[in-house]
């Protein structure tokens, strides 16, 4: 008897986890694979949680999250100008991932399609498929900084298209969509009557001159957009598992009912930590400036490596490194980089077919390690070049 259902049998370990597992068996590895801030959660946030524990806020909260945190998200976070009703239009979730999974559970019927960029963070596909949906990839090219183009989106909209998912700043490319591009996409969504899901978990980590705006802020979009965000990246709070979704009351209400049945609520102590974080936006500015310095250092290091190019990232903490000149597949390149140089980068092909020829490097380690990683990558690239007569 097969105990597992077909969906479970289809689940596979993601390429990122697989790389970690391999790296964990090795000595002296520099990990540039991990997508989380490496610094500790800021002290005031931890103090907020400690106080909550002392005061006994260690029980179930309402399914949608505590009223105070929902109110704070509506009134103090970056979406405050959009006027969300904290009683009906905001839910606190187990991280951004928890928000996405609840959302897919309540919007997807069997066979409904969701448009997703290629290359793109892996987990969306698995979640959509598990919820009966069909992920439809919208190819993006290096010529367009790996940002999907409006005409390519529109071409893929059909009778089963329910939603378009955008993620800016982007994982894995670090690109930030311009307000003009978002406006064009918003027009398509309105014209073709589709829902937009905007995953904005990296929106505090922006370095260039392109302002990072939410597509929900464009005329007529709030009512057809679900904003996903979390405290994970902005406040180095990945382990606290607190995120939120803001969107039409009808959708958020059903997500809340799902939460009641599957999880009850997000962690109570985590919610008090998040409440404190919203009172201290300067803490996420400090994290941003650490990453900004590292970004500069790392890009400068890459500039000096013959054969290496990259898409200049304006956000998040990733660089999508162009390794096409070495003539190896991205998997071969990354496997050998780990085995022969002790550096973890993630093969671009793990993020979709269009990511082939690229590798994702996360500058989520300290400056000293970054310098060492650059030296190792340089020596490795030199070796590959001479081996292949480049
Ligand atoms: N969205 C993107 C694009 C991510 O890269 C991640 C994590 O890596 C998440 C969402 C989920 O983060 P969390 O569940 O910790 O909020």
The residue nearest atom 5 of ligand 1, judged by CA position, is 171
Q: How far is the CA of 337 from the centre of ligand 1 (A)?
A: 25
Neighbours of 205 (CB within 10 A): 25
Kindly compute the dihedral angle of the four CA atoms of residues 206, 344, 136, 249, in this order, to the nearest 10 degrees: -50
Give residue 18's pLDDT band: very low, low, confident or very high (50, 70, 90).
Answer: confident
pLDDT, tens digit (0-9, with 9 covering 90-100), for 208-228: 777 889 999 999 999 999 999
End-to-end alpha carbon distance in the chain:
55
Q: Which two tokens stand for residue 51?
A: 């106080």
Atom of ligand 1 nearest to the CA of 167: 3
Q: Which two tokens stand for residue 146?
A: 């790996």
What does the buried/exposed string (b/e) look like for 112-147 if buried means 16 or more CB atoms within 10 Å of the residue's CB? bbbbbbbbbbbebbbbbbbbebbbbbbbbebeebbb
Atom of ligand 1 nearest to the CA of 100: 10
Pocket test for ligand 1, best of 172, 233, 241 (most atoms within 8 A of CB): 233
In this prediction, residues 173-188 reach a mean pLDDT of 96
User: Residue 190: CB partners within 8 Å, gap ≥ 6?
Assistant: 220, 221, 224
pLDDT score at 288: 97
The residue nearest atom 10 of ligand 1, judged by CA position, is 96
**Distances 60 to 20, 57, 64, 270 between C-alpha atoms, Å:** 34, 9, 11, 12
φ, ψ dihedrals at 229, nearest 5°: -150, 175
Q: How far is the CA of 315 from the centre of ligand 1 (A)?
A: 14
Cα(65)–Cα(155) distance, rounded to whole angstroms?
A: 39
Q: How far is the CA of 229 from the centre of ligand 1 (A)?
A: 8
pLDDT, tens digit (0-9, with 9 covering 90-100), for 51-105: 999 999 999 999 999 999 999 999 999 999 999 999 999 999 999 999 999 999 9
Give the pTM: 0.96
Is residue 21 predicted with pLDDT exceeding 90? no
Q: How far is the CA of 95 from the centre of ligand 1 (A)?
A: 7
**Mean pLDDT score of the chain:** 95
Atom of ligand 1 nearest to the CA of 316: 5
**Distances 97 to 69, 101, 156, 173, 218 between C-alpha atoms, Å:** 18, 6, 25, 19, 25
Q: Which two tokens stand for residue 38?
A: 């490496």
Residues with CB under 6 A from ligand 1: 35, 95-97, 121, 167, 171, 199, 201, 230, 232, 238, 243
């Amino acid at each position: 008897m097969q105990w597992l259902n077909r969906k479970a049998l289809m689940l596979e370990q993601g390429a990122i986890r697989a790389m970690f597992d391999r790296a964990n068996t090795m000595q002296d590895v520099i990990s540039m694979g991990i997508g989380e801030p490496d610094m500790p959660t800021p002290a005031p946030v931890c103090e907020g949680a400690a106080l909550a524990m002392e005061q006994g806020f260690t029980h179930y909260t309402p399914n949608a999250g505590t009223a105070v945190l929902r109110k704070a998200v509506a009134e103090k976070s970056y979406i405050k100008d959009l006027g969300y009703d904290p009683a009906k239009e905001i839910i606190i979730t187990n991280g951004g991932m928890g928000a996405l999974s609840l959302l897919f559970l309540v919007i997807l019927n069997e066979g409904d399609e969701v448009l997703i960029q290629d290359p793109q963070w892996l987990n969306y596909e698995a979640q959509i498929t598990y919820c009966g949906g069909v992920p439809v990839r919208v190819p993006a090219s290096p010529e367009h900084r790996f940002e999907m183009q409006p005409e390519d989106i529109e071409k893929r909209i059909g009778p089963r298209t329910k939603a378009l998912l955008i993620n800016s700043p982007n994982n894995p490319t670090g690109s930030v969509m311009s307000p003009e591009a978002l406006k064009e996409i918003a027009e398509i969504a309105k014209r073709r009557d589709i829902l937009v899901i905007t995953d904005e978990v990296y929106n505090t980590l922006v370095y260039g001159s392109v302002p990072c705006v939410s597509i929900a802020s464009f005329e007529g979009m709030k009512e057809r957009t679900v904003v996903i965000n979390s405290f994970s990246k902005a406040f180095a709070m990945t382990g606290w598992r607190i995120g939120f979704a803001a969107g039409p009351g009808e959708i958020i209400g059903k997500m809340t009912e799902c939460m009641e049945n599957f999880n009850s609520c997000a962690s109570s102590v985590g919610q008090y930590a998040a409440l404190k974080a919203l009172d201290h936006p300067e803490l996420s500015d400090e994290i941003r400036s650490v990453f900004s310095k590292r970004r500069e250092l790392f890009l400068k290091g890459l500039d000096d490596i013959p054969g290496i190019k990259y898409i200049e990232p304006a956000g998040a903490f990733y660089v999508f490194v162009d390794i096409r000149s070495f003539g190896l597949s991205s998997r071969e390149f990354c496997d050998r980089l780990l085995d022969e140089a002790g550096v973890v980068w993630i093969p671009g092909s793990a993020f979709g077919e269009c990511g082939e020829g690229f590798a994702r490097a996360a500058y989520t380690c300290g400056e000293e390690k970054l310098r060492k990683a650059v030296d190792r990558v340089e020596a490795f690239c030199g070796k590959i070049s001479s081996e292949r007569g480049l």
